[in-house]
Structures are given as C-alpha cells and as structure tokens.
Amino acid sequence: MSRQFTWWRRFHGVVKLPKKYLFKGASELQQRIEFGEYEFNHLGREVYLEDKIYEAKVEAIKKESPWLEGETLIEAVDYDRKQYNKRKAVMMKKHLEAEQKLLLKLAEDLANEFDMTKERVSDIMEIFDGTTRELYFKCKSIALGKKFDPEKMQRFINEQPRHILKPKERKYIKLWTGLIKEHNWRRFLNWEQLKQ
C-alpha cells in the first residue's frame, strides 16, 4: 500500500499467510489463527507510542529553549501537536474499524468451519476468556461433541512477529521498549529490539 495512505503507520502491519505455506489436510482457519491473522488489532497499543513521542518532542523544545513559557511554548509545539493529534485520531479510527471487521470475520469463519450459526459463535465469543486459538478449539469441541485441549493439539504455524518498527521509525525503539516494560507487554518484545 502506498505511503500516501499509510503515513500514520510507524510499524509494519499484519501480513496474511500465503496459501503456498499452508499445510494440506489441516484446517486453513486453524493455521491462519495460529499465524496471528485473527489476533486483536495492535494499533490500540501502538497509539501509546504517539503520546511518548509527543512528550519527548515537547521536552526537547523546552530543553533547547528554556526561556519559552506559556503562549510562546504553545506556539513552538503547535506543529508537533497538530501532527500528534491527527496521527492519533487516524490510528484510533483505523484500529476500531479493523477490530470490528476482525471480530465479525472471526465469528463468520468459525461458524462456517463448524456448521454453527454466527449468533451461536458470537454468544460463545462474548463469554469466552482465552486466546483465539483456544476459542477455535472451544468451538470445535462444541461442534463435534468431544473435548479438544488446545495445549495437546499440534501447532502448525508459528505466530508472526508483531510491533516491528519500520526502518525509518527505529529511532523510537527506546521509547517503545520503555512502554512495553511500563505496561508489562512482554510478549510484544522481539529479540531484535532486545539486542539494541
């Protein structure tokens, strides 16, 4: 997708698993769930980075020009504030749209996979407290009438890495790593970030 339409993204987006990498004879939906195509939209967490970046820019302006106060400081950070607000608004809009589409698609795909009604799957999703993979096996257990333990079931595909900053945005790696530690999002830390 053109940078013109994704100027607000600092991270690489979620990729779809190409059909050529799917195992034949295994459930395509299960493999796509394991790959992470149906996991929650991560823009909701990435928006926290925007807060940190804006705070850092304001602090840098204050440090560079300690004499700026009140109205003059507001004018000095005006451009950054407008960019921050615009980027954050677009990110949250895209996040909410993507999250809604993802939940509807997941319910529809689970319903098709297990010959259940979409409403039945939605009801299960409302009360279920677990991972998307565990939800898949919960629906499978209900549909087939026998218990499937997700821990004992073979995993076909490793989950794709998330929250990888684009090369141009890697200057914010310390801010992002600090956010992960602050909010205890350890699973979003990849080894590349730990090395830096």
User: What are 17-28's pLDDT values in tens digits?
Assistant: 899 999 998 899
Alpha helices in 65-150 (DSSP H): 70-76, 78-113, 118-127, 132-144
Do 107 and 92 contact (CB within 8 A), yes or no? Answer: no
d(CA 173, CA 103): 30
d(CA 166, CA 168): 6
pTM for the whole thing? 0.79
Low-confidence ranges of the chain (pLDDT < 50): 1-2, 191-196
